[in-house]
Amino acid sequence: MHFTGFTLMPYRSLDMEARHKERSAWVVLPNSLYDPVKGADEYESHISLLTRAEDLGFDAIAVNEHHQTAYGIMPAPNLIASALIQRTKRVKIAVLGRALPLTNNPLFIAEEMAMLDNMSRGRMIAGFVRGIGTEYHSTGTNPVFSHERFHEAHDLIVQAWTRPGPFEFEGEHYNFKYVNCWPRPYQQPRPPIWIPSQGSSETVKWAADPSRKYQFLVTFSSTELVTRYLTAYRNQCTEFGYECSGDQLGWAVPVYVADTDEKAKEEAGRAIETLFGDFLPNPWEMLLPPGYTSMSSMKQTMKLRSSLGKVRPTADMLIASGTALIGSAKTVRQKISEMVDRTGVNSLVTMLQFGTLSDELTKRNMDMFASEVMPHFRK
Amino acid sequence: MAPPITRHKVRDLDVRMMRAGAGAPLLFLHSAGGMPVWTPFFDKLAAQYDVIIPEHPGFGDTPAPDWIRNIGDMAMYYLDFLDSMGLGKVHLAGHSLGGWTAAELATRNCTDILDLTLIAPAGLRVKGAPSGDNFIWSAEESVRNMFHNQKIADAILAMTPTEEDSDRALANRFMAARLGWEPRWHNPALARWLHRISVPTQVIWGGNDMLLPPVYAEAWKAGVPDVRVEIIPECGHAVTADKGDACAATILSFLARS
């Protein structure tokens, strides 16, 4: 199994009382709540934690992109990736992912990734996403054209990496007289591409297409949904006439390991509740701007949300649903094994720091995961 | 009383329509809120005019054709609509998004327009006076922020929408975003061509509009050659519902000018 260590880089010093006076920790959360001195420490902490993962034997470390939020203070993940390149030697570095539709010049994304790939001598993994709904509020990008822009930007970036330049790109949203990526990527023909997703059937079909075969990485979902989406992807591969490799299947999940199930919950319970109850929640107007998903899937999501009401998820609920793996090494091993048995998933993106979890507990968590869980899945 | 829904075909599009009254045709282009509820406001207009309210492409039950991607397409589409209806010259009116569409149409071609009534129209931007963000407002805010008279908002919020209502509202929201998300509720080019509106124009604004501040009326006044501006006090963005009588009287007196 391929292991990735990942952090969202949350701003842990957030005043939660002040946050709940706002409708969200995104877009409208006043940045007067950000203290640069504490923030500077936060950057150093997370970079150190990620760097540490190399020493512990992880295959990859990962960063991602979010805008105007305390949920993750990495609007420019390539900057962190660049720092990680300087502090590591062997480990792969994944940018999961760049939010393609939010930019007006996707060539910048192609160029920067190519630079990072050269600087790291071929250690980069590229991830492509559409950005979450709130980011259409914070960037002004029209959500109605989100899918169009994603596909067009993707085509442009992959062509910029793989087609001899200069060439002309003729799109609806993006038009370039000259596409000529200097530098070319270090890895040939291009860095691997992973697609973090919450399981939309359109994305499954697109990512599994024989011309792409991208790793489909299911994020932040219950055991039931992760199983369903990964199975859907596997079936889609079969439908395309080829067998799905385990390396095409990824699962991104918060993980916490301690001596016992009770101790794990005691140490990480509050932190996981801050992730899902303080940092992540958004009203549907912000999370699902019109056109971000199809009308039918938006209707379904709205129905689901109104039936759930505004319940703050507890650690018990998150553990029971498998949305977070929190427990003894034995428990966590067992849950991963079960998912492997059910789906054949071979890439695990572990979020070992989440919510307000401290550096100290994160380090213990990483140590235990690396010594007592990871080896079990190494062949 | 609300007239029956009729259908009209424009190119490959099956358009839902309300039509009532007799007299010279008055084409009313609705707001981003969708096909309006038929209120006494419309009865007052229909008492003197042949009032025609088509549902915009993509709104409610009218399909969203992929050949309408922006407000310019909407303006051209309504020129097609006028041709296909064969109404001759019409009084053209529009509210909010509908007002914007009407103005865009009029900058392109005034041949079939007698006069133009713009009720709290979108389309222009006044720097320093940002529009309200009706895409981030909650369902309740979206209703409350439309009215100065909160009793109307209370009554709307007390109703439980049918599934059909909810589906139409969602379609409205999708098409509204297509046309107005970015740049938000305006077309930077429109201000440059307002001088081409060659018919008498009336701009009506609610004095307490929380979506498009009433100061926007000044920008229309500055750009449109033959224009009068009427600000209705104690009135929000939903002018035709919030102050229906005053709005109808203002329109009728403008249309009846000699």
pLDDT digits (tens, 9 = 90+) for A343-364: 999 999 999 999 999 999 999 9
Measured N-to-C along each axis, helices A146-162 and A106-119 cross at an angle, to the nearest 10 degrees, of: 40
Average pLDDT in chain A:
96
CATH number 3.40.50.1820 given to B5-255: yes
Question: What pLDDT digit, counting tens, does each position of A84-111 carry?
Answer: 999 999 999 999 999 999 999 999 999 9
Interacting residues of B207 by C-beta distance below 8 A, sequence separation 6+: B214, B231, B232, B233, B234, B235
Q: What is the pLDDT of residue B55?
A: 98
Question: What pLDDT digit, counting tens, does each position of A21-32 carry?
Answer: 999 999 999 999
In A, residues 107-146, which contact B (CB 8 Å cutoff)?
A: 136-137, 140-144
Q: Which residue has the tokens 């299911």?
A: A218
Where are the domains positioned within chain A? 2-377
Given a cut of 60, is residue A68 above it in pLDDT?
yes
Q: Which residues in chain B are closer than 8 Å to A289, comparing Cβ atoms? A: 135, 177, 181
Where are the domains positioned within chain B? 5-255
Question: What pLDDT digit, counting tens, does each position of B209-230 carry?
Answer: 999 999 999 999 999 999 999 9
Between A and B, how many residue pairs show a Cβ–Cβ distance under 8 A?
48
Tokens of B84: 């296909």
Question: What pLDDT digit, counting tens, does each position of A297-319 carry?
Answer: 888 877 777 666 678 999 999 99
Establish whether the linkage from the previous residue to B183 is cis, with ω within 30° of 0.
Answer: yes
> Least CB-CB distance to A295: which of B136, B171, B178?
B171
Strands B113-119 and A124-129: unpaired
Q: Is A232 on the interface with B (CB under 8 A)?
A: no
Report the b/e string of A79-116 with b at 16+ CB within 10 A: ebbbbbbeebeebbbbbbbbbbbbbeebbebbbbbbbb
Q: Which of A144, A149, A287, A297 to mutate to test binding with chain B, by most B CBs within 10 Å of its CB?
A: A144
Q: Which residues in chain A are closer than 8 Å to B173, comparing Cβ atoms? A: 290
Q: Given pLDDT bands bounded at 50, 70 and 90, which one contains residue A236? A: very high
Interacting residues of B217 by C-beta distance below 8 A, sequence separation 6+: B203, B205, B229, B231
Can you say whether the dihedral through the CA atoms of A29, A31, A33, A39 is positive or negative?
positive
Question: What pLDDT digit, counting tens, does each position of B178-202 carry?
Answer: 999 999 999 999 999 999 999 999 9
Residue A14: name the closest of A72, A74, A75 by CA.
Answer: A72
- Choose the CATH number for A2-377 among 3.30.565.10, 3.20.20.30, 1.20.1630.10, 1.20.1250.20: 3.20.20.30
* DSSP sequence for A51-77: HHHHHTT-SEEEE----SBSS---SSH
Q: What is the pLDDT of residue B37?
A: 94
Given a cut of 60, is residue B258 above it in pLDDT?
no
CA–centroid distance for A333 within its chain: 22
Residue A138 in contact with residue A66, Cβ under 8 Å?
A: no
Question: What pLDDT digit, counting tens, does each position of A249-279 carry?
Answer: 999 999 999 999 999 999 999 999 999 999 9
Q: Which residue has the tokens 């509106």?
A: B197
Q: What ipTM goes with this model?
A: 0.95
The alpha-carbon gap from A77 to the nearest alpha carbon of chain B, in Å, equals: 26
Residues in B lying within 8 Å of A, measured between beta carbons: 133, 135-139, 166-167, 170-171, 173-174, 176-178, 181-182, 184
Q: Over range B91-117, report the average pLDDT.
A: 98
Each as own residue / partner, the long-range contacts of residues A208-213 (CB below 8 Å, 24 or more positions apart, any chain) are: A208/A233, A208/A236, A208/A237, A208/A240, A208/A244, A208/A248, A209/A240, A210/A240, A210/A241, A210/A242, A213/A237, A213/A245, A213/A248
- What's the CA gap between A241 and A133, in Å, rounded? 34
Q: Over range A150-154, report the average pLDDT.
A: 98
CB–CB of B137 and A285 under 8 A?
A: yes
Residue B203 in contact with residue B217, Cβ under 8 Å?
A: yes
Question: What pLDDT digit, counting tens, does each position of A53-64 carry?
Answer: 999 999 999 999
Q: What is the pLDDT of residue A307?
A: 65
